[in-house]
Structure 1
Amino acid sequence: MILFTDDVARAHERVVNMASQMFQVAVAPLSELAGTCNSLKLKGVTTFHDAHVEDVDFVTRALELPGAIAVETPWDKFVQRQHLLAERLTGVRCFRVDCRDDFERAVVALPLPCVLKPRRGVGGSGVAFLWDTGDADHQRAERLDWTGLTLETWLPQGAHPVRPDWLANFVSVETVSLGDAHHVVAVFDKSPIEVVRRGGREGADMVSVTGDIIPSQLSEAQRDVICARVRDCLETLGVRWRVTHTEVQLTPDGSDIIEINGRVGGHLNRLLRLVGGTDLVRAALSVALGLPPALPATEPDGYAMGYFPPFPIRGGQVRSRVTVADLRRLEGLVGVDEVAAAGAAQADSGFRMANVTLRAATADELQRAAAGVARGIRELFAADAEGANGAEEVDMADAVTGHGGADEASTGVEGRER
């Protein structure tokens, strides 16, 4: 059964019609979601959309379904920090910000640099890095909506211990939680994020994640320490019967938690399936019913990468004419999920030129393939790198290999600043 809220159904009638050809479909106002689920006698409920994780929590608690979380609003970043701080599972201090006065009090209490970000949301949207008092003044001048934010201390910046020239200094940990057992099914490395300072709305920086790599090249000992910390965090939040996606910062002294998300991590399931790993979608559906899913015990078969480079100059329409067939010719590339269409708004593709998948037998082969694919995508989209308004052209191959840029940070992650 696929449930749509009525506002989504009205806005995406075509999608609802398509879904109804393959599945049972129900439409309900958000306020009546629990009652609808009850009348349909559903045995479980889950979501793959971050905006609805709290709705799943509400329904599971109201109907006593599998997946009910003990902590209220556990995916709120401020709430998470408070619980993790109490158990000494993070060293990050934070303040809740819901108005300008909250910000003024917090920016006095926390030493710079620090990070202002939404308490809910994904992908770096709305994040602003406050390096100095000038950045704080920029927020005062540009930001109109102060609700739903948190200001937190800067996470110490480490480096990837194996491939700092290519991989970012944060990882993600994918976990399947049953009753009181938290099974780590994958650890992903990341390619460096890209940051356009003050490039977002209302004073925010524009943050772009560029890629995921499986398996992680951290040592087994390093992975074990990180995974143990994630399990402790999930236990502290009272997570049960849930697939979670946790981002972890690599610090000079070890690691710290960036954030914990109560759903499958975007774009990751396709990579796990390429290397014979856990099917996260199937696992999420299974645990929503309170049933333990099948968890492969084998090591990943080779290496895979999801790569989604942003436009070097963001805004306006796509200039380049690039097809799926053009991308398919790039060596090492095995899948094309999306390509920005000529004439469309860059925003239609999330300001990404393309979203592609690579596969290789070894880590070295994957790195070489990634550099070649990055260079090939840059050349195919050359028209979108021409210096409109004097903007800088950026070498996208450097963005993947980690060369040629100054280190920056997201919610505590390494990146490149433009």
Structure 2
Amino acid sequence: MSGALPRLGVLHAPNAAANLRDLVLAGRDRCEVVLLVRRDVAAAEPDLVRLGQALATVVVIGDDVTHELAGLGLDGLVTFHDAELEACDAAVRELGLPGATEADQPWDKLVQRRLLNAAGVSTVRSAPVDSPAGLFEAAAEIGLPAVLKPRRGTASTDLGFLTGPADLEAEPGRRERWAGLVLEQMIQRAPHPSGRRWLADYVSVETVTHRGLHTHVAVFDKTPLAVAGGTGPSRHAVRETGDVLPAQLPPHVYDAVLATTSAALTALTVRDRVSHTELRVCADGVEVIEVNGRLGGEVAGMIGMMGGSDLVRAAFDVALGRRPELAAPTRPEVLVSLYVPFPERSGPVRSAVTRPQVRELPGVVRVDEVAQHGAARSDTAFHAVKVLLTAADADSAGHLVRSVATRVARLYEADGLGADPWLRQLTDDGDESDAEPDSARPVDATPDGAAPGTTGPDSAAPGTAAPDSAAPIGAGTRGDTV
């Protein structure tokens, strides 16, 4: 690359929200991408380093991130991986690069909740826990039901759902790790405000913030959560099962989601960053679940496929102090990324299912994952299949999601998918059948085997200037199109 281009460091590791291909395409003709890989990651993932070296500059670093980056002449620094957020923020602050937050450790769930409480954005109570005795003290302070979870956890594992005194008493005998936990008041569940029972009661918002101005690019609905049981760190693992674009929210709820997201980001002192905020929604109000200081893991590619901006590129821009060019998703279809979970995380896959069988399911435009017979379920992040679906509207999408999930359960009958409470929750709707909708039709999609969330080198829609407001780009009159 030309030496005239700015140098952008990317703290990278496997399972980040942006993969190597995303990073290289986002930096093309805009900056020199310098991949920063920890020594332990480089040792465990030599193929990642080799591929990275073929596509960009790779620097292997140790634990003193700020010191090792000081001599690289970087003009910006960013990460798409949860585990690197604190190191990235500390280096940005010490090196005087764009993107520093005034608040310290805002991605720590306890610190974050306290900042949100202090700003009047959240009413959820929380308390630190570092021992069994501390758990009982915290429960006396905040009450039950509550959720015990790591303050800096990933993949929603090592959770304990304490619905009453019996769960509280049993928790010390079931938990192996006690350091760095938080007990948080459980946010009460509610039906989706649209009344569509195939949608979960929470949403996510992708926001690009530049110089303190929050521009909400897209709001996603979700399909219902699945909870897998087990022992140790995996005994309670909450799994997201699907993203839906656009969100089907009534206007007043949609407006509340955007206002609450802006207020939360301001409370966390976010100034230059792409962020992913999750919020519980109901007809009576909105509550922040958590704010992630990086791009959402599955949503960027969906935004691009629906005509919106490349948010990896936007993250690069704000990390370099540039004003990003942003465009809203404009296509009229409903796009669903559906990942059907295994009810149990341990053990091998028992069913024999092929990619062609999955490709033949109704409404499928791309197949990202198919769990293979005999493989560990963790090989596909505990999903039986992960597919991209499209339908003409939300009602058609509901029929389609239930139909595909039901058929996948039949394909993986030997793995117990048919008895999964998640499937029963998803399909328990007397007003709609599992029949394939006539209105399902595909949008442009990548071939099977392409990197998830990408549509090719030239897939990003032409950018338009970001508006000087906290409103979503191109918000529709119904409040459900962005």
Partner of 2:371: 340
- Does structure 1 retain, via aligned residues, the 8 Å contact 2:99–2:273? yes
Question: Which of residues 242, 246, 256 in structure 2 aligns to 1:211?
Answer: 242
Determine helix, strand or coil for the equivalent of 1:45: strand
| Cα separation, 2, equivalents of 1:240 and 1:364 | 38
Q: Is 1:129 equivalent to 2:161 in the alignment?
A: yes
SS in 1 for 2:326: coil
Q: Any idea what SS the aligned residue of 1:353 has?
A: strand
CA–CA distance in 1 between the matches of 2:115 and 2:231? 30
List gaps (5 residues or longer) in structure 1: 387-391, 405-418
Indicate yes or no: 2:319 matched with 1:288: yes
- Aligned to 2:293, which of 222, 247, 262? 262
Matched, 1:221 2:246: no
Q: 1 CA distance for matches of 2:51 and 2:234?
A: 39
The offset of 1:252, in angstroms, is 5.6
Q: Which residue of 2 aligns with 1:393?
A: 419
Residues 315, 144 of structure 1: alpha-carbon distance in 2 compared, 3 angstrom cutoff:
closer
Contact 2:253–2:281 (Cα < 8 Å) also in 1? no
Residue in structure 2 matching 1:323, options 351, 354, 358: 354
In structure 2, what residue type is equivalent to 1:5?
A: R
Cα–Cα, structure 1 residues 200 and 360, in superposed 2: closer, same or farther, change >3 Å? farther
Secondary structure of the residue aligned to 1:309 is: strand
Pick aligned residue for 1:143 from 160, 175, 178: 175
Pick which of 295-304 and 347-356 moved more.
Answer: 295-304
- 1:109 aligned partner: 141
Shift of 1:353: 0.6
**What is the identity percentage for the equivalent residue pairs of Structure 1 and Structure 2?**
39
Secondary structure at 2:419 match in 1 = coil
Q: Normalized against structure 2, the TM-score is what?
A: 0.78
**CA separation in 2, counterparts of 1:271 and 1:88?**
33
How much does 1:200 deviate? 4.6
8 Å CA contact 1:375–1:396 kept in 2: the answer is no
CA distance in 2, matches of 1:92, 1:164: 26
2:268 aligns with 237
The equivalent of 1:411 in structure 2 is: none
Contact 2:220 2:246 in 1 (8 A): yes
TM-score (norm 1): 0.90
Q: Are 1:319 and 1:383, in contact at CA under 8 Å, matched by a contact in 2? A: yes
Contact 1:313 1:393 (C-alpha < 8 Å) held by counterparts: no
Shift of residue 29, structure 1, vs aligned partner: 0.5
Amino acid at match of 1:325: P
Instruction: Indicate if the aligned counterparts of 1:311 and 1:352 stay in contact, CA closer than 8 A.
Output: yes
Work out whether residues 253 and 286 of structure 2, in 8 Å CA contact, stay in contact via their aligned partners in 1: no
Cα offset for 1:203? 8.2
Unmatched runs of 5 consecutive residues or more in structure 2 = 1-33, 431-482
The answer to which of 139-148 and 308-317 deviates more is 308-317
Change (3 A) 1:181 1:402: farther
CA distance in 2, matches of 1:265, 1:349: 18
Q: Tell me, in whole angstroms, the C-alpha distance in 1 between the residues paired with 2:206 and 2:349.
A: 34
Q: Can you list the C-alpha shifts for 1:66-102, whole angstroms capped at 9, x where unaligned?
A: 1111100000110011111111111111101122232
Worse-superposed segment, 22-31 or 257-266: 22-31
Q: Are the counterparts in 2 of residues 353 and 381 from structure 1 also a CA contact under 8 Å?
A: yes
State yes or no: 1:21 paired with 2:54. Answer: yes
2:306–2:329 contact (8 Å) kept in structure 1? no
Moved more, 144-153 or 321-330: 321-330
Q: Give the Å deviation of 1:121.
A: 2.0
Once the two structures are superposed, residues 147-171 of structure 1 have per-residue CA deviations (whole angstroms, 9 ceiling, x without a partner) of 1110011213322111341111111
Q: Which residue of 2 aligns with 1:159?
A: 191
Aligned to 1:119: 151
**Separation in structure 2 between the aligned mates of residue 214 and residue 257 of structure 1, nearest angstrom:** 20
| Bigger mean CA deviation after superposition, 178-187 or 251-260 | 251-260
Structure 1 pair 47/87, CA: closer, same or farther in 2 (3 Å)? same
Residues 1:298 and 1:15: Cα distance change in structure 2 (over 3 Å): closer
Pair 1:298–1:20, CA change in 2 (3 A): closer
Q: Which amino acid aligns with 1:188?
A: F
AA aligned opposite 1:87: A
Structure 1 position 403, deviation (Å)? 4.7
One-letter amino acid matched to 1:11 = A
Match of 2:448 in 1: none
Match of 1:3 in 2: 36
How has the CA–CA distance of structure 1 residues 203 and 327 changed in structure 2, closer, same or farther, with 3 Å as cutoff?
closer
Cα distance between partner residues in 1 of 2:221 and 2:142: 30
Contact preservation (8 Å) 2:39, 2:61: yes
For residues 340 and 379 of structure 1, what CA distance do their matches in structure 2 show? 14
